[in-house]
Amino acid sequence: MHDARALIDMGAEAVRRLARRGYALDLAALEDLQSRRNRSIQSADELRVESKRVAGEVQRTAKQGGDITGLKERARELKEEIREIEAGQEEIQEQLRDLLLSIPNLPADEAPDGDSDADAVEVRRVGEPPVFAFEPKDHVDLGEATGILDFARATKLSGPRFAVARGAGAALERALAALFLDLHTRRHGYVEHAVPYLVTRRTMTGTGQLPKFEEDLFRTGVADRELFLIPTAEVPLTNLYADEIIPPAELPLALTAHTPCFRSEAGSYGRDTRGLIRQHQFSKVEMVRIVDPAEADAELERMVGHAEACLKELGLPYRVVTLAAGDTGFSAQLTYDIEVWLPSQDTYREISSVSHFGTFQARRANIRTRDENGKPKPVATLNGSGLPIGRTLAALLEHCQQEDGSLVLPEALAPYAGFRRIAADGTPEA
């Protein structure tokens, strides 16, 4: 969430920057609400001063034996006026908050112009796409042929966009999560967390999923208690520190968790309906960093490296791109996408997004630290996928396939899986 005064002071610059991401800022409406709020606060403060003066006059007059009837009536009138102004002030404040909650983050200057994948700017490529001596299969055909993935029975259970992993497939999912968590906790310094998968509306608002993206979420309710299934561990991890002031000496905080993620994919009808690429339920290892704003740019580059390390361990070729301003997520000011090579599609596909939110989420969730004078100030937040298990498994199967239908795993994964090879019939082999 933005600071209203800061947006107003930026004026045309704020309008220009938000227009880069396709958002038309109504600066006049923002200025009007802020002005009305300030006038309301000033009026209430003046009336409180007058009310205090009249109360003192009542006491003095009563002690002197004078008539206080008129003064008491004036005191009553002032209380009523203050009550009315405060009610109006709450309404104005709610309108201002609703407007501020609807305004996306300002895109960074480093984000290129544009609003689609095609406008992303490539930063680097690592590794070479494989050349097969045979016609490679996609991960769906490989998973079904070996019996380690079952999409038909998943659809029977839950409908489309679900998958069942069995045998060596389930073991691979578990192995990937363990490998990634070990990388982040032992090599990169993150602290692993086990977090709730159901969170409140306020928690979802803190990281920016609400109010804008409610149709993308799964909501549940028992009696009068409303909860949302998390779309990513970013939500509970970041909000762990909502309404807290973190001592500067404790920054940066590095948090990670492996959780299921639930997304309705409301805006993705007809896209990636086959396989593991776009599911209603999937699991992911998430990274979150909470830092001093002055360190956030460097922390972003560090976090991108942490996500890349996962792909390097598996020997999967990938590229890093900077997303265009109009394609950057609502809460982010700058996002790097890491795209893994998918042989069956002969292209790079997103496997991780690593984002810099500045103080945007911190203002919404009220996460603060202290400046050099001890005054509270918002922190900066960053997060990234490190990595999603389903998409990683899809890429892994396609890269590891052999002409005889078997799969040979990367050396780094074998100790976690307990096997190095999956035979064409799905049998794991050392």
Residues designated as active site = 263, 278, 350, 353, 391
What is the distance between the alpha carbons of residues 184 and 177, in angstroms, rounded to a whole number? Answer: 11
3-class secondary-structure state, position 10: helix
Q: How many CA atoms lie within 13 A of 194 on its CB side?
A: 0
d(CA 309, CA 313): 6
Cis peptide before 176 (omega within 30 of 0): no
Pairing of the two strands 318-322 and 281-291: unpaired
- Asked if residue 422 lies in contact with residue 429, where contact means CB atoms within 8 angstroms, the answer is yes
Structure tokens at 398: 């396609």
What pairs with residue 284 in β-bridges? 259, 388
Q: How far is CA 246 from CA 203, 206, 242, 359, in A?
A: 18, 17, 10, 14
Q: Which residue has the tokens 């490998």?
A: 179
DSSP assignment of 279-305 equals: -SEEEEEEEEEEE-GGGHHHHHHHHHH
**What crossing angle do the helices spanning 151-158 and 139-146 adopt, rounded to 10°?**
100
